[in-house]
Amino acid sequence: MRSLIRGVGTETVRCPSKNRPCGPGRNQAPRAGAGRDPDAIGWGVQIWTCVGDSTAQGCCTGTRALQERFGLAQVDLEQSTALGSAADCIATLERYVALGITEFNLSAVCPAPEMAAQYERIAAEILPHFAR
């Protein structure tokens, strides 16, 4: 995910962790050479998502679930997460949209018994904002 976050528009940038080109501009020449329109290709990211009744509740529930699921001692909330209230999650996703991201895989992160309800909240409270 880090490489996509660093890629803005059609620029090619260097991915510091791998010292190679990354971002939306990375593969435009090969795609154009194969007859594909590089501008027609969407860019996507997976975002761990937890919508809570408040910023604190959504962040706390999502962070705890990520720690348990992946055995993490600490979670970087700036890295591929949209946690908090619905407004917080929308604001996070809007930052990705501003970077040129066009596709999202919103993966609910919460205790297993709450999973269905979490996806219902994502569908009801976040997705309508991005309806085109």
pLDDT tens digit sequence for 103-126: 899 999 999 999 999 999 999 999
User: How much of the chain is in helix, strand and coil states, percent to nearest 5?
Assistant: 45, 20, 35
Count, residues in the chain? 132
Q: CA 55, 58, 61, 64: dihedral to nearest 10 degrees?
A: -70
pTM greater than 0.85: no
In angstroms, the CA 51 to CA 122 distance is 7
User: What percentage of residues in the chain have a pLDDT greater than 70?
Assistant: 70
